[in-house]
């Protein structure tokens, strides 16, 4: 089931404080049929995160798009979100399952670490994320995951694979052609005025890649 959910365009929110701007832009993405949305905001207060997450979740429910929370298992539990995405320094998969149940989608960052990929194959996470594929303003010091690394992981992975990090319309074709299930993007979606055209072009590349 998760294999069918984790596919296509995986949008991740930017660190915007302006909730209205965030909601307007996100609804534009949802109208143009992104496949998943992850709420990630490292720069605002806990109270504002709750406010933004509630509004985004309501939008996602309306458009029937899975809503995933980055890192914050407490927020995820309060909202009963569809999923959570975890990094290497976050709560463990086992703790998430114990706290939030087995139905929640759990994604795991594996960076460019093949050993971590193999370890995650033996867990009950639902998908793995690899990156950064390209330099990114969001995480300028993120380790680089090469195209060759992506291809090798896709070949052995028994779980859906998401590519992340600096992916945009100009560089997404080789990433899509590597066989990943989804590409995650922040700035490429939220910083453009031509969302409809961009999403349509990326979806075509998934179909034609």
Q: Indicate the pLDDT class of residue 137, thresholds 50, 70 and 90.
A: confident
Residues 144, 145, 149, 154: what is their CA dihedral angle, to the nearest 10 degrees?
170
Does residue 203 have an active-site annotation?
no
Q: How confident is the model at residue 141 (pLDDT cuts 50, 70, 90)?
A: confident
Residue 109 annotated among the catalytic residues of the structure: yes
DSSP for residue 4 = H
CA distance 189 to 169: 10
Rounded to two decimals, the pTM is: 0.96
Residue 116 known to be catalytic: no
Number of domains in the chain: 1
pLDDT for the residue numbered 202? 93
Q: At what angle do helices 19-31 and 195-208 cross, to 10 degrees?
A: 40
Residue range(s) defining the domain that contains residue 37: 2-208
Q: What is the mean pLDDT of residues 194-201?
A: 92
Selected catalytic residue, list 109, 157, 178, 198: 109
| CATH of residue 54 | 3.20.20.70
Which among 33, 97, 99, 139 is annotated as catalytic? 139
């Amino acid at each position: 089931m998760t294999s069918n959910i984790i596919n296509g365009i995986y949008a991740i929110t930017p660190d915007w404080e302006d909730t209205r701007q965030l909601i307007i832009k996100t609804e534009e993405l949802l109208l143009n049929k992104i496949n998943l949305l992850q709420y990630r905001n490292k720069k605002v207060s806990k109270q504002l995160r709750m406010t933004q997450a509630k509004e985004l979740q309501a939008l996602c429910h309306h458009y029937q798009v899975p809503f995933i929370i980055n890192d914050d298992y407490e927020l995820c539990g309060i909202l009963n979100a569809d999923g959570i995405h975890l990094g290497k320094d976050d709560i463990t998969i086992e703790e998430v399952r114990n706290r939030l149940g087995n139905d929640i989608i759990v994604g795991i960052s594996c960076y460019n670490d093949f050993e971590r990929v193999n370890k995650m194959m033996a867990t009950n996470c639902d998908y793995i994320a690899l990156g950064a594929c390209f330099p990114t303003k969001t995480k300028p010091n993120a380790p680089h995951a090469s195209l060759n690394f992506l291809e090798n992981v896709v070949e052995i992975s028994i779980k859906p694979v998401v590519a992340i990090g600096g992916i945009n319309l100009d560089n997404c074709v080789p990433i899509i052609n590597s066989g990943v299930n989804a590409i995650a993007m922040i700035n490429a979606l939220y910083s453009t005025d031509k969302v409809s055209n961009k999403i349509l072009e990326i979806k075509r590349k998934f179909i034609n890649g």
